[in-house]
Amino acid sequence: MSTFSLQDLEEIISSRADVKDGSSWTAKLVSGGVEKASKKLGEEAFETVIAALKETDEALVGESADLLYHLLVVLHVRGVKIDTVLEELARRTQQSGIAEKASRSQ
Ligand SMILES: N=c1c2ncn([C@@H]3O[C@H](COP(=O)(O)OP(=O)(O)OP(=O)(O)O)[C@@H](O)[C@H]3O)c2ncn1[C@@H]1O[C@H](COP(=O)(O)O)[C@@H](O)[C@H]1O
């Protein structure tokens, strides 16, 4: 199991977000605001779907890493902590997805 966590990457993103010397992709994305970061997230989501449908496991791993990184950049720009998302996922473990969907349609 990896010892690297999403919280570790969140910290790296936070530490790179204000770099002004042109060396940081994170800073470039953050400077474009939520519009630019979200557009890139959408592209990475699409590339992940294509990898899942017709590329190698290695390609899927690479696209998944891109996707998670760009999601964390969007969360950073919006000021939402990854812990808040993980807490929501933890809350959802109390119920199956099918049961949750059924409870919404009643
Ligand atoms: N995990 C990532 C990470 N994943 C992807 N990317 C960058 O995201 C950018 C866009 O990726 P694409 O695959 O879409 O490449 P592209 O050239 O824009 O597009 P295509 O031509 O491939 O369509 C590339 O520049 C990638 O390097 C990342 N950039 C940074 N990180 C992490 O953030 C840290 C800080 O990075 P900087 O902010 O750049 O210093 C790094 O050490 C990493 O830990």
Examine residue 1 and state whether it is found in any structural domain, yes or no.
no
> Are residues 27 and 19 in contact, defined by beta-carbon separation less than 8 angstroms?
yes
- So what's the ipTM on this one? 0.90
Name which residue sits closest to atom 41 of ligand 1, judged by CA. Answer: 12
How far apart are the C-alpha atoms of 52 and 12, rounded to whole Å?
27
Nearest residue CA, atom 18 of ligand 1? Answer: 40
Structural domain boundaries enclosing 44: 6-104
Q: What integer pLDDT is reported at residue 2 of this predicted model?
A: 92
The CATH number assigned to the domain holding 49 equals 1.10.287.1080
d(Cα 14, Cα 28) in Å, to the nearest integer? 13
Cβ of 50 below 6 Å from ligand 1: no
Mean pLDDT, rounded, for 55-71: 98
User: Which pair of structure tokens corresponds to residue 69?
Assistant: 């990184």
Residue 49 lies in a domain: yes
Domain count, the chain: 1
Look at residue 64 in the predicted model and tell me its pLDDT.
Answer: 98
Dist. CA 100–CA 85, nearest whole Å: 17
Two tokens at 64?
A: 């998944």
Residues 45 and 67 sit within 8 Å (Cβ to Cβ): yes
